[in-house]
Amino acid sequence: MNLGPMEYTVARIDGDYAYLRQVDQPQEEEKCVARALLPPEIAEGSKLHYEMMEYSLA
């Protein structure tokens, strides 16, 4: 389990889930995360910082 820090971009939002793309490894598969774990103000294209199991807007 990687506790970060890592940077993501919100690739798309689908209902209660957001699909995140890791900034430094864009070729990797998108990560599906429940929106309840993310800041409420995210939108497609938002930049996120992940560290110690918490997401914040970058």
**Does residue 1 carry a pLDDT above 70?**
no
Q: Which two tokens stand for residue 17?
A: 């889930």
Say how many residues make up the chain: 58
Distance CA 1, CA 15 (A): 26
User: What confidence tier does 2 reach under pLDDT thresholds 50, 70, 90?
Assistant: confident
Residue-wise pLDDT tens digits, 23-46: 999 899 999 999 999 999 999 999
